[in-house]
Amino acid sequence: MALLPILLLPDDRLRAVCAPVTLFDATLKQLADDMLETMYAAPGRGLAGPQVGAMLRIFVMDVGWKEGRPSPLICINPEIKDTLGTVINDEGCLSIPNNPVRISRPALVRMAWQDLAGRHCEGFFDGFAATCAQHERDHLDGILCIDYPNLPQPEDSE
């Protein structure tokens, strides 16, 4: 495995729409393995293909590893099928370091994707996993978290 360089804004590749993955082979598996290694080293919880210059519809995520509950997920050609509710979170991005934004997203998502063998998968994501999946999925269409309205921080109640 290898650490990949993470592209930083204003790299134009971060604004490009990625191509669908059509070849499920050893090269794709190596890319996914390298993306996971890069994400963990960053240290992040998600990483999309364009963030490492791979202009393909692939992202990796692992929302539990920092709490000692690793559960890596590789999503190829992901599609958000349905959403429910709303949640406001502070989001950061490995390609836009030190620039968190407070944005609103759906609280629950139903997503379909393919695995490394090209098999079709579907699942529900809530909590931080829903936010992470949407954030990484956005990258595949050249959408960054800074493109959403940056909501004000809640006022302290004393």
What pLDDT digit, counting tens, does each position of 8-23 carry?
Answer: 999 999 999 999 999 9
Residues forming a β-bridge with 109: 83, 125
Residues forming a β-bridge with 56: 19
Residue 157: pLDDT over 80: no
Distance, CA of 121 to CA of 114 (rounded, Å): 6
Q: What is the pLDDT of residue 154?
A: 81
Neighbour-count burial for 33-44, b at 16+ CB within 10 Å, e otherwise = bbbbbbbbeeeb
Is 25 buried (19+), middle (13-18) or exposed (0-12) by CB count in 10 A?
A: exposed
Determine which one of 37, 136, 155, 158 is catalytic.
Answer: 136
Contact (CB, 8 A) for 135 and 148: no
Among the listed residues 75, 71, 49, the one whose alpha carbon sits nearest the alpha carbon of residue 133: 75
Distance, CA of 66 to CA of 48 (rounded, Å): 19
Residue 155: pLDDT over 90: no
Domains and their CATH numbers in the chain:
12-147 (3.90.45.10)
pTM (2 d.p.): 0.95
Tell me the pLDDT tens digit for each residue of 101-134. 999 999 999 999 999 999 999 999 999 999 999 9
Structure tokens at 121: 């998968």
Averaged confidence pLDDT in the chain: 96
Is 122 labeled as catalytic in the residue annotation? no
Among the listed residues 132, 155, 147, the one whose alpha carbon sits nearest the alpha carbon of residue 39: 132
Tell me the pLDDT tens digit for each residue of 61-70. 999 999 999 9
3-class secondary-structure state, position 72: coil
Could you tell me the pLDDT band of residue 156, with boundaries at 50, 70 and 90? low
Q: What is the pLDDT of residue 139?
A: 98
